Structure formats: structure tokens, C-alpha cells
Amino acid sequence: MSDAFRTWMKTTQADCEIALAEFLPAATVVPSRLHAAMRYAALDGGKRVRPLLVYAAGCLFGAPAGLLARAAAAVEMIHAYSLVHDDMPCMDDDALRRGKPTVHVQYDEATALLVGDALQAQAFLVLSEGAGDPGSKLAMLNLLAQASGSLGMCGGQAIDLASVGLALTREQLEQMHRLKTGALLRAAVLLGAMAGKQLSATETEALDSYAAAIGLAFQVVDDVLDASADSATLGKTAGKDAADNKPTYVSLLGLDASRQLAQQLCRDAHAALQPFGDSAQYLHDLADLIVQRQA
Ligand code: GRG
């Protein structure tokens, strides 16, 4: 990873923080406890991988900064909502997220439920407002809705919940993660690109291949980290997958083969970017980041 990429990443993460702070209701606005909890869930934490993907894909096609900020904030709000709900007692029942007490622990369960609901609605509100061609904004809203719903992230979560204690095949594991984690990562890539132009079929296909590879790599690495890193490094409870008897790449393939698979997926992601040449450097480096991350 080059110094230029690291500098771009820090600047973009800071831009994302500013956008989120601006697009979330102020904690002083009634109902202030809910708004404070939404800001607690979404601000000041996380790697911001999805916003980084939005901005990196936007760079490919010269997307306007205002629309990229909205798309990045929207996709991160959906992600933050999913983490809040996933941590609740009715799902993963976790007390630590992004190095802080989870929302239902810091506030209460009913507030956590509402925080997730409200963040999801806020994501679509933010993306629907502001400048931009109405046709492409509609396509972006449609994409984000598909990626978030029962044929995307929520569907993947449903499969995940139903899979506890089961021995899934590699294909079944892949399908679960394509929906649960991959759909929103794919949406981030495509949203950034669509903010710049109407994509050709060839461009969509190349970005889809890239997104499929990084989506799976992200999950394989997540499984490896869950099995090999500690809670302080991760900022969330480590070892949860095995404790909860969840099927993972590590339980299916073992640690070494999982690490090798992540490396292969990174090479696949790089190969998918070849048609875009040097202008895809940030997407290229983000694939490296996803595979080399330690948390
Ligand atoms: C509850 C509707 C609903 C969906 C939940 C995304 C998800 C589905 C659950 C999160 C649980 C989890 C640990 C999934 C594995 C991959 C993942 C999405 C990890 C968290 O994303 P990061 O690493 O988190 O990007 P940060 O905090 O850096 O943003």
C-alpha cells in the first residue's frame, strides 16, 4: 500500500465522518435520546470500508463530491443499522462493538431497535435528497434497497440465523455471505460508479466481478480474524463464531486454507479491475486493505 493511498484513505474517512455528522439529525433535535443513540451508533468508529469503496469507485468516473458524500453516508448508515440489530439479544447478543458498549447496552433494547429502523430510513432519505440526475438517483435508491432487503443483507442474516449448528457446504456458505456481507459491499462499489455515469454492461460486469471477490474475501478474513485475533484488537468479541457454533470458512477449510483463499480472492479482485487501468488504483489498494486488515 502506497503513501498516496494511505493519505487518500485518511482524508476520505474524515470526509465520511463529516458527511455522517451532517446527514444525521442533531442530538439536540427531539426525540433527542434517539438521535443521540443514532449518532453513537454511526459516528466515531469503524473502518469505513463501504464509504471508501463508494469514493474509490466514484474516482473512476469523476463522480461529483456531493453525490458521493450522500451515497457514502447512506451505505454506512445501512451498515451501522445492521450492526446495531445484529448485536441485539435476539440475534448475536453482543456487548462490544467498535470498541464501545453496543447500543442496547449503552441505551436499552427498545432504543437499539429504533436506532436501526431510523438509520435505515435516514439512509434512503439522505440519498434521495440533494443534487443529481433524478433517473440515476432512482437507480441508486433501487440498488441500495435491493442490497439491504430480503434478497440481500437481511436475507443473508436470515440464512445465518437458520444455519447455527449446521454443517453448510462451501456453496451454501458462499451464498449466505454473498447476501449477508457481499450485497452491501457490491452496492457500495456500484453506487460510487453510478454517481459518476450510467454504467455500460461491460463496466457493470467488471465491477461486479471485483465486488464479488472482495465481498467474499472480506468474509473469509472476518472468519480468520474471529478465530485468531483478540477482542481488544477487533473492538468486538473474538471467538464468537466457534462459541456460537456457526459455520465459517475456518470451520470448513481450516485457518491456512482460509488465508490462502483470501489471497486468491484478492488476486481475482485485482484481475477484474484490469479494464480500468491506473484509474482503479484506489479500488485495487482497497482489495489489499480488506485482505491485510487486522481488525
Ligand atoms: C441485522 C439486518 C441485519 C443484518 C446483519 C452485516 C450483518 C448482517 C451482521 C454483522 C455481523 C458480522 C460480524 C458480519 C461479518 C462481516 C461484517 C459485516 C463485519 C462488520 O463489518 P466491518 O468489519 O465493521 O466493516 P466496521 O465496524 O469496521 O464498520
**Band of pLDDT at residue 74, cut at 50, 70 and 90:** very high
Return the pLDDT at 246. Answer: 84
Sign, CA dihedral 107-112-118-119, equals: positive
Mind listing the pLDDT tens digit for each residue in 53-70? Answer: 999 999 999 999 999 999
Query: What are the tens digits of pLDDT across the range 95-123?
Result: 999 999 999 999 999 999 999 999 999 99
- For the Cβ of 222 lying below 6 angstroms from any atom of ligand 1, the answer is yes
**Would residue 294 count as lying in a domain?**
no
Average pLDDT, the chain: 95
Q: Mean of the pLDDT values across residues 179-197? A: 97
Could you check whether the bond before residue 31 is cis, i.e. omega within 30 degrees of 0? yes
Question: Considering the domain boundaries, does residue 160 fall inside one?
Answer: yes
pLDDT at 179 over 90: yes
Distance, in Å, from the CA atom of 223 to the CA atom of 167, rounded to the nearest integer, reads 15
Query: Does the pLDDT of residue 150 top 90, yes or no?
Result: yes
Query: What is residue 15's predicted lDDT score, i.e. its pLDDT?
Result: 97
Within-domain flag for 37? yes
User: What would the DSSP string read from start to end of 38-59?
Assistant: HHHHHSS-S--HHHHHHHHHHH
* The three-state (H, E, C) secondary structure of the chain, written as one string: CCHHHHHHHHHHHHHHHHHHHHHCCCCCCCCHHHHHHHHHHHCCCCCCHHHHHHHHHHHHCCCCHHHHHHHHHHHHHHHHHHHHHHCCCCCCCCCEECCEECHHHHCCHHHHHHHHHHHHHHHHHHHHCCCCCHHHHHHHHHHHHHHHCCCCHHHHHHHHHHCCCCCCCHHHHHHHHHHHHHHHHHHHHHHHHHCCCCCCHHHHHHHHHHHHHHHHHHHHHHHHHHHHCCHHHHCCCCCHHHHCCCCCHHHHHCHHHHHHHHHHHHHHHHHHCHHHHHHHHHHHHHHHHHHHCCC
Q: Does a structural domain hold residue 291?
A: no
For residue 151, report the phi and psi dihedrals to the nearest 5 degrees: -95, 5
d(CA 6, CA 92): 33
**Segment 1-25 mean pLDDT:** 96
148 C-beta closer than 6 A to ligand 1: no
- List pLDDT tens digits, range 125-145: 999 999 999 999 999 999 999
Q: 225: domain CATH number?
A: 1.10.600.10
Contacts for 244 with CB less than 8 Å, ≥ 6 apart: 92, 164
- As given in the structure block, the three cell numbers for residue 56 are 474509490
| Residue 259 maps to a domain | yes
The separation between CA 45 and the C-alpha centre of its own chain, rounded to angstroms, equals 13
- 88 Cβ closer than 6 Å to some ligand 1 atom: no
DSSP helix/strand/coil, 101: strand
Cα 204 to Cα 126: distance, rounded to the nearest angstrom: 24
Nearest CA to ligand 1 atom 14: 181
- Whether 295 maps to a domain, the answer reads no
Q: Using alpha carbons, select from 274, 272, 212, 283 the residue that is nearest to residue 49.
A: 283
Query: Ligand 1 centre from 79 Cα, in Å?
Result: 7
Q: What are phi and psi of 101, to 5 degrees?
A: -60, 140
- The structural domain count of the chain equals 1
Q: Is residue 162 part of a domain?
A: yes
Q: Residue 182's pLDDT is what? A: 97
* Dist. CA 80 → ligand 1 center (Å): 8
Which DSSP category does 89 fall into? T
Query: How far apart (Å, rounded) are the C-alpha atoms in residues 135 and 197?
Result: 11
Question: Domain range spanning residue 125?
Answer: 3-285
Q: Is 86 in the pocket of ligand 1 (CB under 6 A)?
A: yes
pLDDT at 232 over 90: no
SS3 content of the chain, % helix, strand, coil (to 5): 75, 0, 25
Where is average pLDDT lowest: 41-50, 146-155, 235-244?
A: 235-244
In ligand 1, the atom with minimum distance to the C-alpha of 84 is 1
Residue 123 lies in a domain: yes
pLDDT band at 294 (very low <50, low <70, confident <90, very high): confident
